[in-house]
């Protein structure tokens, strides 16, 4: 065999979802357009990752190391040209009409190439997810219009979700922990709105965002009973990004501490009223924890792909590193974990499309409305205003609450809490195993393996630490009630 023919690759086909995610063969028969779109998104993602992300990943990481405030806007504009930041919006509203599965498959490819740049694009989806959770139609329309219009002008539109407190992040995601917490931030009711005062930390896009979804109680002594959710415009007087974090990994994605000093939030920007804030946050988390699992999966794939390529070319004692049996077993152990985990995560994404809030955009009523209505009418101020009228908003929210019941949210939290730690722990184990295989030479910067080592650790922490997820699974699987135990 010629040397040029013996460079091995892992998951390097143009598309592979039919062979690696068996359920797709069944879905293809019943929902051919749905699966075809996903296949096309994966193909697009692999091309974009190969041609746009991979060539700039290490240089962007270097520049962010020297200057944490650096933003690779050239990359973001390339993503906007491909309509990636707005890809999940319906076509008539300026997007590509991608499903969660399609976006997830694109995202997996982007993450395997570089999570920092992938996060710069994908984490903006919190804007859409946060709006969809309450599903006030005028709010959803406003958010979509705002992002689409700005990006058509060539202006990146960044969004953030601020949940973590300086005194604890986990406390904000579980009722028992929240009840015992003492948050720094507080919202005071005033005429026509609220005043926010306090500090939030580790906010993705905190220094870049134009809008931030903020969780805050109206009485910090009773956070569980009074937690609310607000949409804050960052140009409001009193808002400030006070510190940009200097991070070990995922440097292209900014993380900041943000401060609120008498920041006024109008009544209409109250997304979840006092007492409903935890529910709102958990409904977002019920969808996004599976997305963080996708990050762990992409990082694992990325480090294994690089290690296979390196070992295929590295000569040791007269033969290639990849020809050694211990390397086979080490890599095979990771691959046997990647394949079933990938299937579980893809199943989660499919379930989001058919059982979670995304169903509100993919149901007979919405489909008919989008088909018969001209794009100009859908995106008009008149429709936005009419959709905000009490009777309309009430009916839509009632439908949404039936589509996404409390039981549905609880079930998605359970499954999301299972796949997220599984994927992020696998990513950490994979970078350790691969570091052992490639040794010091393979860990030099140019191979990208040490970068994934730095990128992976935080996936065990953000979106709730893995310890919390395990307790969530235990609680839901056996019916244990931590509130009664405490």
Residue 4 is predicted with a pLDDT of 45
Query: Is 344 domain-assigned?
Result: yes
Question: Which pLDDT tens digit goes with each residue over 79-128?
Answer: 999 999 999 988 888 899 999 999 999 999 999 999 999 999 988 877 67
* 286 and 240 within one domain: no
Domain count, the chain: 2
* 287 contacts 153 by C-beta, under 8 angstroms: no
Q: Per residue in 21-52, pLDDT tens?
A: 888 999 999 999 999 999 999 999 999 999 99
Average pLDDT score over residue span 210-234: 94
254 lies in the same domain as 292: no
297-350 confidence digits (pLDDT tens): 999 999 999 999 999 999 998 999 999 999 999 999 999 999 999 999 999 999
CATH number of the domain residue 419 falls in = 1.20.140.10
Each as own residue / partner, the long-range contacts of residues 110-113 (CB below 8 Å, 24 or more positions apart, any chain) are 110/45, 110/48, 110/49, 110/53, 110/298, 111/294, 111/295, 111/297, 111/298, 111/299, 111/301, 111/302, 112/49, 112/298, 112/299, 112/301, 112/302, 112/305, 113/49, 113/50, 113/53, 113/54, 113/57, 113/302
Strands 186-190 and 270-272: unpaired
Q: How confident is the model at residue 369 (pLDDT cuts 50, 70, 90)?
A: low
What CATH number did the domain enclosing 190 receive?
Answer: 2.40.110.10
The answer to whether residue 90 is domain-embedded is: no
| Alpha carbon distances (Å) from 258 to 69, 173, 197, 284, 454 | 15, 19, 11, 21, 24
In 50-116 the beta strands, taken as DSSP E runs, fall at: none
What is the secondary structure of 123-148 as a DSSP string? GGGHHHHHHHHHT-HHHHHHHHHHHH
pTM of the model: 0.92
Query: Confidence band (pLDDT; 50, 70, 90) for 458?
Result: very high
Same domain, 297 and 252: no
pLDDT tens readout for residues 156-208: 999 999 989 888 777 788 888 888 888 999 999 999 999 999 999 999 999 99
pLDDT tens profile 241-252 = 999 999 999 999
How many helices (H) does the chain have, and how many strands (E)? 21, 10
Among residues 49, 73, 48, 50, the alpha carbon closest in space to that of 60 is found at: 73
Evaluate whether residue 191 is within a structural domain: yes
- Considering the domain architecture, whether residues 329 and 219 belong to the same structural domain is answered as no
pLDDT class of 5 with cuts at 50, 70, 90: very low
Spatial CB neighbours of 32, under 8 Å, sequence gap ≥ 6? none
Residue 133 lies in a domain: no
Asked whether residue 107 is assigned to any structural domain, the reply reads: no
Last residue of a domain, one of 217, 244, 275: 275
Same domain, 267 and 351: no
261 & 290 share domain? no
**Same domain flag for 256 and 323:** no
**Tokens 């929902």 found at:** 31
pLDDT above 70 covers what percent of the chain? 95
Q: Which helix (H) or strand (E) holds 199?
A: strand 193-204
Question: Domain of 208?
Answer: 159-275
Alpha-carbon gap, residue 259 to 466, rounded angstroms: 27
Q: Does one domain contain both 328 and 218?
A: no
Count, residues in the chain: 486
Q: Are residues 458 and 347 in the same domain?
A: yes
Same domain as 219, residue 255:
yes
Residue-averaged pLDDT of the chain: 89
The domain boundary residue, chosen from 275, 307, 335: 275
178 and 307 share one domain = no
Give me the percent of the chain exceeding a pLDDT of 90.
64
| Per-residue confidence (pLDDT) for residue 386, from 0 to 100 | 75
- Does 411 map to a domain? yes
Look at 376 and 322; give whichever has higher pLDDT.
322
| Predicted confidence (pLDDT) at residue 366 exceeds the cutoff of 90 | no
Same domain, 341 and 441: yes
**Domain end: 249, 275, 301, which one?**
275
CA distances (Å), origin 158, targets 69, 167, 236, 385? 14, 26, 16, 24
- Residue whose C-alpha is closest to residue 115's, from 258, 301, 243, 348: 301
In a domain, 75, yes or no: no
Residue 454 within a domain: yes
């Amino acid at each position: 065999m010629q040397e040029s023919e013996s460079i091995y690759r892992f998951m390097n086909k143009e598309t592979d979802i039919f062979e690696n995610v068996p359920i797709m063969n069944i879905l293809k028969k019943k929902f051919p357009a749905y699966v075809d779109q996903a296949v096309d998104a994966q193909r697009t993602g692999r091309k974009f990752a190969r041609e746009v992300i991979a060539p700039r990943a290490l240089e962007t990481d270097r520049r962010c190391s020297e200057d944490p405030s650096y933003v690779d806007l050239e990359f973001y504009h390339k993503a906007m040209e491909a309509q990636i930041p707005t890809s999940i919006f319906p076509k008539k509203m300026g997007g590509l009409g991608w499903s969660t599965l399609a976006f997830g498959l694109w995202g997996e490819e982007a993450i395997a190439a570089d999570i920092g740049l992938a996060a710069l694009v994908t984490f903006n989806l919190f804007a859409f997810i946060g709006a969809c959770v309450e599903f006030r139609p005028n709010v959803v329309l406003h958010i979509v219009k705002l992002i689409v219009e700005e990006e058509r002008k060539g202006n990146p539109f960044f969004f953030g979700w601020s949940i973590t407190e300086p005194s604890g992040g986990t406390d904000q995601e579980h009722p028992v922990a929240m009840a015992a917490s003492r948050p720094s931030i507080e919202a005071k009711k005033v005429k026509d709105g609220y005043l926010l005062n306090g500090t939030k930390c580790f906010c993705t896009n905190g220094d870049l965002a134009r809008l931030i979804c903020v969780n805050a109680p109206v009485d910090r002594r009773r956070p569980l009973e009074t937690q609310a959710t607000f949409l804050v415009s960052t140009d409001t007087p009193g808002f400030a990004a006070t510190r940009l974090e200097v991070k070990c990994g995922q440097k292209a994605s900014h993380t900041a501490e943000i401060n609120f000093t008498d920041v006024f939030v109008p009544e209409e920007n109250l997304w979840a009223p006092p007492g409903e804030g935890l529910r709102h946050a958990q409904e977002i988390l019920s969808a996004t924890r599976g997305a963080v699992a996708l990050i762990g999966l992409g990082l694992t794939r990325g480090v294994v792909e690089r290690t296979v390529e390196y070992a295929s070319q590295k000569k040791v004692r007269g033969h290639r590193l990849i020809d050694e049996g211990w390397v086979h077993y080490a890599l095979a152990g990771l691959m046997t974990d990647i394949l079933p985990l990938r299937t579980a995560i893809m199943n989660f994404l499919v379930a989001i499309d058919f059982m979670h809030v995304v169903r509100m955009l993919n149901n007979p009523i919405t489909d008919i409305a989008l088909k018969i209505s001209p794009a100009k009418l859908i995106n008009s101020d008149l429709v936005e205003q009419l959709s905000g009228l009490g009777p309309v908003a009430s009916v839509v929210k009632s439908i949404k609450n039936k589509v996404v019941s409390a039981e549905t949210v609880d079930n998605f939290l359970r499954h999301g809490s299972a796949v997220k730690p599984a994927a992020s722990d696998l990513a950490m184990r994979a970078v350790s195993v691969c570091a052992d295989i490639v040794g010091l030479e393979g860990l030099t910067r140019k191979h990208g393996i040490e970068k994934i080592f730095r990128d992976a650790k935080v996936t065990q922490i953000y979106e709730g630490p893995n310890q919390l997820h395990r307790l969530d699974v235990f609680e839901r699987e056996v019916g244990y009630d931590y509130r009664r135990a405490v």
